[in-house]
Structure 1
Amino acid sequence: MTSWLGVALLPSPAHQTAAIRLQNDVGGGLALHPPLSPDGNLPHVTVFQGPFLDSLDPSTELDRIVTAVGTSRCIALASAGVVYQPTGWVFLSLERRPLLEKIQQTALEALTPHLDRAAFERSKDVSQFSDEERESFARYGYRYTGAAYAPHITLGRAEETVARELVRSVPGRVHVPEGWVFDRFSFYVMGESGAHAEIVEEVALATRAGSGSPSGVRTR
């Protein structure tokens, strides 16, 4: 059976709250969908997502990713602003640090053997994808890998002209925090429009007391 799952970085509690508030502020009374919530659709930065075969063990692969990346500290990322993404998407864009590229490459190496390629959405309209995004989608079934990788928190989706206008009006209307902190990795069930609907596995980033050595702390 095919399972639609993803790997993500989750923000610290304070920045989770900030992301939910930012979605509301950017929407300005016009609800962006799906709504972010601390009890359901969590704000997150997707590392990779797609359809997987039963051969995938989320616990094993998440541990492998965290161990290979070798970071024990929370990951701080600078905001690159609220941006529009075809079609109808509103993103909080984040800096693309080499560490994030390493995280995604590690995830791809671990997860690619378990992809259910027969479940890729071959009929999806990719006419507004960049060349790099089309190549990524064809190879992995996910738009943002390799050269097309675009770290972001999805703030939601709206009708095309509405999304463009909301993004255009952000400067001077909405305060966008300059820095964001992420303290957990998660394996999650994909919901509406790829949302982070349910945690399957979660590993907190922590440092073993007194040693400074990496130690992933499983919180679920």
Structure 2
Amino acid sequence: MKSSSFNIAIVPSKIVVKQAMKLSRALKPDGGLFVLNQRLYSVHVTLYMMELPLRNLPGVKRILRMIAASQRRFKLEPLIWNQDSGGYIDVSYEKTKTLSKLQETVIKELNPLREGLLRQKDIERMNIAPRSEKRNIQKYGFRSVGAQFEPHLTISRLRTYKPTATPRVDTGKMSFTAHKIGIFYLGEHGTCKKLVARFRLGTAPKRRK
């Protein structure tokens, strides 16, 4: 059975995409392992990473189109810049009820199409992951679900932890209203390397009262 790894993610506004690419380029001299450019490395906020049988890709696109159509546009408010011990640099977003519910819906609808497959990276994590993450991997094929979901936008990853490289730009510049979600082929370092399809939010006809 042929499969591939995919990332279902929120597509930020053009202004935030431009700002993220600028910050990513600035980190290259500090040892950035990738530079966001919208060709090989698309700017995104992850909702769900999954290993998917390729025969189920049309079904995933159909479901995402329906989810997006019924989802109203909503605001993502940035919190702080972060850099973890692995060198990942990102800006975190407020985990609102709307954002959590969207992730919940996406995973509930798409998880069965995974047919129990796991990404190789998650298979390797199973021996060292905390119990809560291990349960998520076993149940959903993704560790960052529910209480473990921490919405963020990754700017780059450095070869080594370098606290002085963490951006000092006002996080307010990373605020945006979500208009689209997309499905991408998943690349190294959690990147979105190739767009499969994008879906505009809130396109379902409004019901008459």
Q: Same fold (TM over 0.5)?
A: yes
Mapping for residues 26-105 of structure 1, pairs under 5 Å: 27=27, 29-53=29-53, 54-56=55-57, 57-68=59-70, 70-71=71-72, 73=73, 75-105=74-104
TM-fit CA distance, 1:100: 0.7
2:195 alignment counterpart: 199
Q: Greater share of helix residues, 1 or 2?
A: 2
Give the letter aligned to residue 188 of structure 2.
E
Q: 2:179 aligns with which of 161, 176, 183?
A: 183
TM-fit CA distance, 1:40: 2.8
Give the letter aligned to residue 133 of structure 2.
E
Deviations 1:37-91 (A, max 9, x none): 03331110011011012234232121132145x31x3x32111111123433212
What is the TM-score when the length of structure 2 is the normalising length? 0.83
What is the TM-score when the length of structure 1 is the normalising length? 0.79
Deviations 1:176-218 (A, max 9, x none): 331233321111111222211111111123568xx8x39xxxx
Provide the alpha-carbon RMSD of the alignment: 2.5
Deviations 1:108-146 (A, max 9, x none): 11111011434443223774x555334323332322111
Distance 2:15 2:31 in 1: 22
Q: Percent identity?
A: 20
Distance 2:9 2:20 in 1: 15
TM-fit CA distance, 1:166: 2.5
Where structure 2 has 5 or more consecutive residues not aligned to the other structure, the ranges are none
Distance 1:29 1:120 in 2: 31
Give the letter aligned to residue 8 of structure 1.
A
Number of residues paired by the alignment? 200
Contact 1:50–1:142 under 8 Å retained in 2: yes
TM-fit CA distance, 1:161: 2.8
Distance 1:123 1:175 in 2: 36
Query: Are residues 37 and 126 of structure 1, via their aligned partners in 2, closer, same or farther at CA, if it must alter by over 3 Å?
Result: farther
Where structure 1 has 5 or more consecutive residues not aligned to the other structure, the ranges are 215-220
3-state SS in 1 of match to 2:183: strand
After the TM superposition, list the runs of 4 or more consecutive aligned residues in structure 1 that deviate by more than 4 angstroms. Answer: none
2:156 alignment counterpart: 156
TM-fit CA distance, 1:28: 7.1
3-state SS in 2 of match to 1:160: coil
Distance 1:82 1:107 in 2: 26
Distance 2:17 2:104 in 1: 25
Contact 1:15–1:181 under 8 Å retained in 2: no
Contact 2:68–2:200 under 8 Å retained in 1: no
- More displaced, 98-107 or 139-148? 139-148
Give the letter aligned to residue 63 of structure 2.
E
